[in-house]
Structure 1
Amino acid sequence: MTSTYYQTITELERKKVSRDYIVGWASGFLGNPKLEEQRLTEAYEAGYADGQGQCTDNAESWK
């Protein structure tokens, strides 16, 4: 694990970003498979995409 992972999660929590976005971001960052289709939310998918790109571009939309 890199410090980027921990710093980003801490920053997202501090900004009170949606839990679904944070879980999605972490999963995308770590390369985990997505959740089952019935459990996907828009916030999770946005976080997953940002995590794969190692950015937080959509985080502000999910407070």
Structure 2
Amino acid sequence: MTRLKIEGISCRHCVAAVDEALAEVDGVERVLEVDLDSGIAKIEGDVETEALLAAVREEGYEATAA
């Protein structure tokens, strides 16, 4: 499982946008959670962290490996 810390999410729309962006990354099997309160996203799959970070940044949010 990969965990990311997402900065800048403030509502359910933000969570949905990040969830959708992560789900579209090649190799992602499942987005387990994007938690609004903690800003933590949990992703399952064989995928490079940098690809996940890039997908989040394309949505306009900042992300780091958690």
Q: Indicate the structure with greater strand content.
A: 2
TM-score by length of 1: 0.34
TM-score, length-scaled by structure 2: 0.33
